[in-house]
Amino acid sequence: MTEQATQNHAWLLASRPHGEPTKENFRHVAQPVPEIKEGEVLLKTIYLSLDPYMRGRMDEGKSYAAPAELEQPMVGGTVCQVAESKNSDFKTGDWVLAQSGWQEYAVSDGKEIAKLGNDLPHPSWALGILGMPGFTAYMGLMDIGQPKAGETLVVAAATGPVGATVGQLGKQKGCRVVGVAGGEEKCRYAVDTLGFDACLDHHSADFEEQLKNACPDGIDIYFENVGGKVFDAVFPLLNTAARVPVCGLVSAYSQRELPQGPDRTSLIMAGILKRRIRMQGFIIFQDYGDRYPEFLEAMRPLVENKKIHYREHMIEGLENAPQAFIDMLNGKNFGKTVVNVGA
């Protein structure tokens, strides 16, 4: 082990946020790099993924996954290299996919990590287009959305790692694809680079009117990962037998009480009933984990042949992870947020 690898820098979850997370919810520590025992490997984090779901893990309430533990490294997916091995299945230098969190080094018994191969041109893509976000886009659209040629697909957070992939897959299926994003630059990218038919800035004062004009035949599929005012604008335009895959609600992750205004539950439920709308939430690895090889088989050639464009928002240095996470929750990222920890 090199001399500089005697300290393991990490960000611990120091406290649970009340509303929007702040830097004070995290605490930086430097501890000795852990020793490994027989059967274990020492992982060196190269790339750390920052994803909206982490906001939910910071809370104590019951959810689909256990809360992140206080005074432990913040949870997160990572691409690592094996720095030291006492496990016959792994050798030093192997690239692996792990869940080792916001720290430079971690110990694994080898059961919860997956080999990535050692000839990857873009190892960090295992956290994005070929990982959880890409898998979420593919299964949510193909299995729940079931796109057909000529249909209108609306995609929220259109330039994020999930939305960008959904839109491009929708175009390949012959859909009219309308994206929703925050800001003119992102919208231009969605149309000019990703090939969307239109992209609307949700900050616009007349956003609802723009959406109506962009979807003259209504909306057949709405890929939901934002909620809030985007959903409010989309719902009246959903056609009979529309499908709504729900993979996230980033606008509401930090809410602690219902927004002001009348209770519209009965109106929404009546719309779902009368228009026979299929609205289905899903948790990607819990619902579709056994279909990951199917996804890779379909997506890899598209990525390798540049039929699918992918953009990363790369942050340099683990020290910048908390601010990058907060920025991502506020839509300040442009593409998949990844922290370069040790490349």
Residue 1 above 60 pLDDT? Answer: no
Residue 255 is predicted with a pLDDT of 65
Q: How far apart are CA 331 and CA 187, in angstroms?
A: 13
Residue 182 above 50 pLDDT? Answer: yes
Mean pLDDT of 298-314: 94
What's the CATH number where 167 sits? 3.40.50.720
Together in a domain, 267 and 326: no
For 76-89, the pLDDT digits (tens) are 999 999 999 999 99
Residue 301 located in a structural domain: no
Q: How many domains does the structure of the chain reveal?
A: 2
Residue 206 is predicted with a pLDDT of 96
For 225-279, the pLDDT digits (tens) are 988 899 999 999 999 999 999 998 876 666 667 777 888 889 999 999 999 999 9
Q: Which residue has the higher pLDDT, 91 or 65?
A: 91
Together in a domain, 140 and 268: yes
Together in a domain, 139 and 228: yes
Residue 81 located in a structural domain: yes
Q: Provide the domain limits for residue 36.
A: 3-127+311-340
Together in a domain, 177 and 315: no
Residue 253 is predicted with a pLDDT of 61
pTM for the whole thing?
0.87
Mean pLDDT is lowest, of 166-175, 206-215, 284-293, for: 284-293
What's the CATH number where 319 sits? 3.90.180.10
Residue 2 above 60 pLDDT? Answer: no
Residue 305 located in a structural domain: no
**Amino acid at position 23, single letter:** K
Residue 297 located in a structural domain: no
Residue 139 located in a structural domain: yes
**What's the Cα-to-Cα distance from 291 to each of 7, 76, 249, rounded to whole Å?**
39, 22, 24
Together in a domain, 147 and 45: no
Together in a domain, 99 and 76: yes
Residue 124 above 80 pLDDT? Answer: yes
Together in a domain, 176 and 77: no
Residue 226 is predicted with a pLDDT of 85
Mean pLDDT of 206-213: 97
Together in a domain, 119 and 155: no
Residue 39 burial (C-beta neighbours within 10 Å; 0-12, 13-18, 19+): middle
DSSP helix/strand/coil, 110: coil
Q: How far apart are CA 300 and CA 290, in angstroms?
A: 17
Per the prediction, the chain carries an average pLDDT of 93
Residue 119 above 90 pLDDT? Answer: no
Residue 111 located in a structural domain: yes
Mean pLDDT of 176-201: 97
Q: How far apart are CA 232 and CA 268, in angstroms?
A: 10
Residue 219 above 50 pLDDT? Answer: yes
Together in a domain, 143 and 269: yes
Residue 261 is predicted with a pLDDT of 80
Residue 61 is predicted with a pLDDT of 79
Together in a domain, 7 and 142: no
Helices 132-139 and 161-172: crossing angle in degrees, nearest 10, is: 40
